[in-house]
Amino acid sequence: MIKIKLIETVYPAPDEDEDDYCPDGESSTSTETVGFRELVELMGEYSRPSCSHAVGATYEWLSQPDMEQDMFTGEYTERTLHYSHDNAPRMAKYWRLAMVKAGIVRS
């Protein structure tokens, strides 16, 4: 079993006259323990890596391809998937293997 962190950040709606929209969002974090197969499935949903040439390192995280916008409030929600560093050191290899299985990095 692998510990992961799911972070959800909600950004306020931009003002109509705001040219430089770069607000601070409010984040909530949850930690879950998942099996390898479930991790690969999650990586299919969170398929955008944090860097352009991902190698499967534990400092890399994955985002959902598109941010969701609330139609009523205009707020944007971003969801990201992170390796939890509460894992035993030997678990790091499974993060990379899951990224390979999900097609995010090459073996």
Does residue 47 carry a pLDDT above 80?
yes
Per-residue pLDDT, averaged over 20-38, amounts to 89
User: How many domains does the chain fold into?
Assistant: 1
Does residue 6 carry a pLDDT above 70?
yes
Whether residue 22 lies inside any domain: the answer is no
Whether residue 84 lies inside any domain: the answer is yes
Whether residue 79 lies inside any domain: the answer is yes
Note whether 28 and 7 are within 8 A (CB). yes
Does residue 4 carry a pLDDT above 70?
yes
pLDDT at residue 73, as a whole number: 86
56-96 pLDDT per residue, tens:
999 999 999 988 888 888 889 999 999 999 999 999 999 99
Residue 8 lies in domain: 2-14+27-101
Whether residue 39 lies inside any domain: the answer is yes
- The whole-model pTM stands at 0.87
SS3 state of residue 42: helix
The number of C-alpha atoms within 13 Å of 56 and in the hemisphere containing its C-beta is 18
